[in-house]
Structure 1
Amino acid sequence: MPAPHRSPQVAARIGAFVVQAAAARGVDAGRLMADAGLAAAALADPEARMPLAVEERLWTLAAERCGDPLFGLRAAQAIRPGTFDVLDYAVRTAPDLRSALQRLARYNRLVHDLASFVLVPVEGGLRVEHRFDAAGVTPCRQAAEFTLASLVVVATQIGGAPVRAQAVAFAHSAGGDAEAYRAVFGVAPRFDAPVSCLVLADAVLERAVPAADPGLSRIVTAHAEQLLAAHAPLHEPTAAQVRRLLAEAMANGPPTLRQVAARLHLSERSLQRRLDEEGTRFAALVDGVRRELALRYVADPRLALGEVAYLLGFAEPSPFHRAFKRWTGTTPTAVRRAAR
C-alpha cells in the first residue's frame, strides 16, 4: 500500500536562521514570520519542521525587505557551530574536508526532505552538486546561493584556512554583482547551468580539520545515524539512491549491482525488486547516469574529451563516443563545437 502523501518539510531551524539574518539587517522579524506563515511556536521547538513552501517564502521576503538580491549569498557568513544541530556537528567533527562533505551528503535529510548533495569526482577535485530529489522542483535562488556559499564558509571555519572553489555554477539566471560572488567563492559563477554546484580541489579536500576529535566524532555520527533511521524519507527513492551512488563512483567504472546493493544494505534480489516497483532497472540507471554526466562534462570546456571518457568509467574514448552518439544522435565534438 503506498505511503500517504505529505508535503516536503525542512527543519524549522532553517527558518529561524533566515529570520535572524534578516532581523540583523533591520527587517521586522515578527512581520516577516507572519507574512511567510512561520509560527513562533516552531522556533521554540528544536525538533520542529515546517513546509518547504514556508522556507522559500522566508528567503524571498527577506531578500525583498532587505533590498538585497544577494541576501542568501551574504547570509552564509552568519553560520556558527550548531546552527543546524546534529548535521552541523557531524560535519564539523569530521577528520578532513572530504569526509565533512561525505557526512553532509549522508545526513542532510535530517534538515531537509528534498535537498541532496551529490559528490562527483572530477579531474583533480570533486564537484558538489546541490539539487532536489523530486521531478520539476528546484531550490529557490536565495536558498541555492546560501547553500553553496555555506559550503565554503564552513570549510574555511573548520579547516583553519580560506577555501576557494575552482568553479561555481547556479541553475538560476544571473541577478547580482559578480564581485560579490567572487568575494565568497574566489571565482565568478556560471549561471543557467544544468545544476547548481561547485568544484573543490583535491588539495583543499585533503586538509585536516585541526579541532577534529575522534571520540566526539563517533558519538555524534552514531546519534546522526539513529536520527536518520528514524526520519523516513518523503518517498522511497531507491532509484535516486542508486543514481547518487553511481555518480559518486562512476570514474572508477560503474559499480555492479552487487556493490550497490551492499552499499544500501540490501540483497541483490531486494534491490532489483524495489527498482522493478519503481518502474526501472539497474542497467537503465547506469546508462542514464552516464548520459547525464556526459552532457554536463561535455559542456565543460575545461575537460578534454578523453578525460570525459575516463570520468564516465570508459576504458578508452571510442566506446564513449559510440555511447554518446546513441544517447544524443550526434558526437561530443559536434556538441562542444556548437556551444562555442
Structure 2
Amino acid sequence: MKPSSWIRGPFLPALLGSAEGFAIDPEPVLALDSFVRRLEDQRAGQQDVLAIWRWGEAIVPHGIGLPGQALASRRTLGEALATLARGFPLLQSDSSLTVDHHGDEVHVTYRVLDPRIWPRRADAELTLGLIRGICLRYGVTRDAVLDLGFEHPADRDLRALATYLGLRPRFDQPLNRIVLAARAMANPLRADLAVSAATEAEAALERGLNALRRQTPLSIQVQDLLLAHLDQGLVGQAQVAARLQMSERTLRRALAAEGRSFHDILAECRRIHAQALLARGELPLCEIALRLGYSDQSAFSRAFARWHGTAPRTLRRRTEP
C-alpha cells in the first residue's frame, strides 16, 4: 500500500542508508514528505556542499525503476529526457518534471507540487543532479549547460558548486531548472555505455503508466494540474478539461461521482499554496496573488478573508519568527 504522496525506486534504501519507513510494492516506496525531510537531514549533516548533487549524478538509470529502464534504451539525450519526463509519475507522485523547447534552449524543470512540503532544498539538488547525470551519459559538456536555478534561497557558500558546474546557480526561482543548449539533444549515448533493449522496456513503461492512470482518482489529477500550472493562469474548468482530454460536462460529472467539484478543488489548491507562500515570507502579496492565478492582490485578499476570516498580512505576521 503506497502512501498518498510517494517516491519509489531501488535507489532509495542505499541513498537514505536505512529501510525504515519503506513499503515494498514491489519496489521500495516511501512517503514523499518523509523522503524530503530525511534527505534534508542528510544535507544538514554534510560538510561537502556538492554531496547531494553528486548523489543525484551517481544514480544509475535502473535505480529509478521502469522510467530508468526505458531511459537506458534511448540513443540520444533528447529521447532520454523525454522518456524521463513521461515516466516520472511512476517514480514520484504529486510532482512535475517537464522538458520544454525554447528556440536554441531546452528547459528541464522540476518541483514537488505540494507547497506544504518545505524546505526541500536537498530534493531539488538531488533531482537536478540526477538530470545532469543523465546528460553526462550522453557526453554533454559544461558549455552546453546554460543556466541552473533553484526555488529555494541560497543558504551556504556555493563557490564549490559554481566551480564544479562551470556556472553560478540562481536562487529564489519559481522552479528548479536546468537550461541546456538545444544542440545537445542530438548527443548520442557514450560509446562505453550499452543501450538496453527498447521494445520490452517501453512496453513495461506504458503498462505502468496505464495502471497508474486507472488508479489515480480524477480529483487528484485535477489537483496536480492546478498546482503545477496555477502561476501560469490555468484556473479555468474548460482549460483543465481540455488538458485531460474531456468535455467540461464529463469533468463535472466525473468529479461529482467522487463527491468533489472543480470549484472546491481549485479553492483548496489556492488555500494551501497561499498559506505555504505566506509562511515562507519572502514574496510580496502581489506576487503571491499572481502565482495563485488571481488577477490582482485585492481578489486574493478577499478570497483569503473568506478562508481564514482575516487578511493575509495578519497571517504572515503571526508566522514570522
TM-score by structure 1 length?
0.61
Paired residues for 1:303-318 under 5 Å = none
Q: How many Å apart are 1:46 and its aligned residue?
A: 4.9
3-state secondary structure, aligned to 1:83:
helix
Q: Residue in 1 aligned with 2:314?
A: none
Q: Residue in 2 aligned with 1:111?
A: 91
- Relative to structure 1, is the Cα distance of residues 215 and 142 closer, same or farther in structure 2, using a 3 angstrom cutoff? closer
**CA distance in 2 between partners of 1:223 and 1:267 (Å):** 30
The one of 121, 124, 127 aligned to 2:104? 124
Q: How many Å apart are 1:279 and its aligned residue?
A: 2.8
Alpha-carbon contact 1:86-1:224 (below 8 Å) kept: yes
3-state secondary structure, aligned to 2:197:
helix
- Relative to structure 1, is the Cα distance of residues 215 and 72 closer, same or farther in structure 2, using a 3 angstrom cutoff? closer
**CA distance in 2 between partners of 1:141 and 1:61 (Å):** 11
Q: Residue in 1 aligned with 2:284?
A: none
3-state secondary structure, aligned to 2:7:
strand
Q: Residue in 1 aligned with 2:250?
A: 270
Tell me, which stretches of 5 or more residues in structure 2 are unaligned?
233-237, 265-293, 298-321
1:72 aligns with 2:52: yes
The one of 234, 237, 241 aligned to 2:221? 237
Paired residues for 1:146-185 under 5 Å = 146-157=126-137, 159-162=138-141, 164-185=144-165
Alpha-carbon contact 2:100-2:107 (below 8 Å) kept: yes
- Relative to structure 1, is the Cα distance of residues 149 and 184 closer, same or farther in structure 2, using a 3 angstrom cutoff? farther
Q: Which amino acid aligns with 1:160?
A: G
Alpha-carbon contact 1:70-1:142 (below 8 Å) kept: no
Q: Which amino acid aligns with 1:38?
A: G
- Relative to structure 1, is the Cα distance of residues 12 and 221 closer, same or farther in structure 2, using a 3 angstrom cutoff? closer
- Relative to structure 1, is the Cα distance of residues 174 and 240 closer, same or farther in structure 2, using a 3 angstrom cutoff? same
The one of 4, 9, 17 aligned to 1:7? 4
Q: Residue in 1 aligned with 2:202?
A: 221
**CA distance in 1 between partners of 2:196 and 2:52 (Å):** 34
**CA distance in 2 between partners of 1:196 and 1:178 (Å):** 16
3-state secondary structure, aligned to 2:10:
helix
Alpha-carbon contact 2:75-2:188 (below 8 Å) kept: yes
3-state secondary structure, aligned to 2:177:
strand
Alpha-carbon contact 2:57-2:131 (below 8 Å) kept: no
The one of 162, 166, 170 aligned to 1:186? 166
1:102 aligns with 2:82: yes
1:38 aligns with 2:21: yes
Q: How many Å apart are 1:203 and its aligned residue?
A: 0.5
Q: Which amino acid aligns with 2:185?
A: L
Alpha-carbon contact 1:165-1:200 (below 8 Å) kept: yes
Tell me, which stretches of 5 or more residues in structure 1 are unaligned?
20-28, 249-256, 281-325, 330-340
- Relative to structure 1, is the Cα distance of residues 279 and 38 closer, same or farther in structure 2, using a 3 angstrom cutoff? same
1:55 aligns with 2:25: no
Q: Residue in 1 aligned with 2:15?
A: 18
**CA distance in 2 between partners of 1:167 and 1:56 (Å):** 24
- Relative to structure 1, is the Cα distance of residues 161 and 199 closer, same or farther in structure 2, using a 3 angstrom cutoff? closer
- Relative to structure 1, is the Cα distance of residues 108 and 198 closer, same or farther in structure 2, using a 3 angstrom cutoff? same
Q: How many Å apart are 1:269 and its aligned residue?
A: 5.5
Q: Residue in 1 aligned with 2:305?
A: none
Range that drifts further, 51-60 or 221-230? 51-60
Q: Which amino acid aligns with 2:38?
A: L
- Relative to structure 1, is the Cα distance of residues 77 and 48 closer, same or farther in structure 2, using a 3 angstrom cutoff? closer
Q: Which amino acid aligns with 2:141?
A: P
Q: Residue in 1 aligned with 2:271?
A: none
1:282-337 alpha-carbon deviations (Å, 9 max, x no partner): xxxxxxxxxxxxxxxxxxxxxxxxxxxxxxxxxxxxxxxxxxxx9569xxxxxxxx
- Relative to structure 1, is the Cα distance of residues 48 and 65 closer, same or farther in structure 2, using a 3 angstrom cutoff? same
Alpha-carbon contact 2:59-2:130 (below 8 Å) kept: yes
**CA distance in 2 between partners of 1:264 and 1:172 (Å):** 31
**CA distance in 1 between partners of 2:116 and 2:151 (Å):** 13
Q: Cα RMSD (Å) of the superposition?
A: 4.0
TM-score by structure 2 length?
0.64
Q: How many Å apart are 1:173 and its aligned residue?
A: 1.2
